[in-house]
Amino acid sequence: MLLGLSICSLALVTSCGKEDEDPKPVAEFSYVADGLEVTFTNESENATSYVWDFGDGSATSTAENPTHTYDDFGTFTVILEATGPGGMKSVEYDVELLYEEPIKIDTAFADWTAVPALCSYPDGEGRSLLELKVMDSPNFLYFYVKGTSSLGEVIQLYIDADNDTTTGWQYWGWFKKPGLEYLMEGVMVPFTGADAGSSIQAATGADIDWPWEPLIGANAINKSSGYVESGGNKVVEFSILKTMFTTPELGNTIRILIGNSDNTWANIGTLPPKETNAPPATYTMQP
Ligand SMILES: [Ca+2]
Ligand SMILES: [Ca+2]
């Protein structure tokens, strides 16, 4: 009996000693997110193997410093289990992947650099209008318009929302390709009179000179930079909520014509240019 107790004590001491030799692991990590791709940096101590749960239902990883690409934005609880001779420890953090709008309406235009021009006539065939760029996100349509120094106060966007020339406005216009469902008229330099503001109008289908009916009053433009002088030109960026377009909703491919008017509402520019008889510019939504 006495011998048995003695052995037990000895075992206890041995166990304590072993714990000193193999300290418990510390689980720790940091991460850097680039869009949906997250690079994890393992900062664990006293560990030799790892299991990562990325919190999105995907397979776990045993890599020391994994990179994981998520399917969507959101908040994910990431759990790291670090195992060493001294045991296993785990740590968890919420990884937040926030959606960033691709374009910021802020009077700086570097965010448009990688966006190809949808319609560009740098030699002046479009008169006051030189270039149009379009971008979209799940929430917004973004527009970049470059004009000459004579760019007028009003920008008009004619939009074929369903990419179908047989629906929408079929009447005469400076463009030769009809089928336009919407007209956005935006006053980029606010008038002091009753014309100030912007609106989205829908084609009524009537075969008359001006078959547009306002859908809403002001604030069709969600946000605008206003005109910015740049290299002898005037540039503006603005955004419109996609939910402004209801019947029909915006399809995956839309067609766009753009006009420019001065403060007497006389047309002084078009893209594509009137004279070229080119079809409207075609824009396909981002995947
Ligand atoms: Ca910008
Ligand atoms: Ca149409």
pTM of the model: 0.70
Residue 199: what pLDDT? Answer: 84
Per-residue pLDDT reduced to its tens digit, 5-48: 444 444 444 444 454 689 999 999 999 998 899 999 999 999 99
Q: Which residues contact 270 (CB under 8 A, 6 or more apart)?
A: 126, 127, 129, 174, 175, 257, 258, 259, 260
What spacing in Å lies between the alpha carbon of 223 and ligand 1's midpoint? 11
Residue 191: what pLDDT? Answer: 54
Residue 3: what pLDDT? Answer: 44
In this predicted structure, which of 50-54, 69-73, 222-226, 231-235 has the lowest mean pLDDT? Answer: 222-226
Cβ atoms within 10 Å, residue 33: 14
Beta strand pairing call for 253-261 and 267-271: antiparallel
Ligand positioned closest to the Cα atom of 247: 2
What average pLDDT does the segment 79-97 reach?
97
Domains in the chain: ranges and CATH: 22-97 (2.60.40.10), 110-284 (2.60.40)
Residue 13: what pLDDT? Answer: 45
Ligand positioned closest to the Cα atom of 254: 2
Task: Please report which confidence band the pLDDT of residue 216 belongs to, taking 50, 70 and 90 as the band edges.
Answer: low
**Vertex 57: Cα angle to 56 and 61 (nearest 5):** 90
What spacing in Å lies between the alpha carbon of 112 and ligand 2's midpoint? 28
Per-residue pLDDT reduced to its tens digit, 167-208: 998 876 665 557 899 999 888 776 555 555 688 889 887 777
Burial of 20 (0-12, 13-18, 19+ CB in 10 A): exposed
pLDDT greater at residue 78 or residue 214: 78
DSSP 3-state of 242: helix
Burial of 103 (0-12, 13-18, 19+ CB in 10 A): buried
DSSP 3-state of 33: strand
Beta strand pairing call for 29-34 and 49-53: unpaired
Buried b (16+ CB within 10 A) or exposed e, 200-232: bbbbeeeeeeebbeebeeeebbbebbebeeeee
Per-residue tokens: 87? 């045991």
What spacing in Å lies between the alpha carbon of 139 and ligand 1's midpoint? 16
Ligand positioned closest to the Cα atom of 102: 1
What average pLDDT does the segment 52-67 reach?
98
Residue 263: what pLDDT? Answer: 84
What span, in angstroms and rounded, lies between the C-alpha atoms of 92 and 103? Answer: 33
Query: Which residues are registered as beta bridge partners of 270?
Result: 259
Kindly state the DSSP code that residue 180 receives in the 8-state scheme: B
Q: Which residues contact 257 (CB under 8 A, 6 or more apart)?
A: 157, 158, 175, 180, 270, 271, 272, 280, 281
What average pLDDT does the segment 241-246 reach?
89
What does the chain come to in residues?
287
Q: Which residues contact 50 (CB under 8 A, 6 or more apart)?
A: 42, 44, 62, 63, 64, 80, 81, 82, 83
Residue 14: what pLDDT? Answer: 47
Protein residues with C-beta less than 5 angstroms from the ion ligand 1 = 104, 106, 108, 111
What spacing in Å lies between the alpha carbon of 197 and ligand 1's midpoint? 21
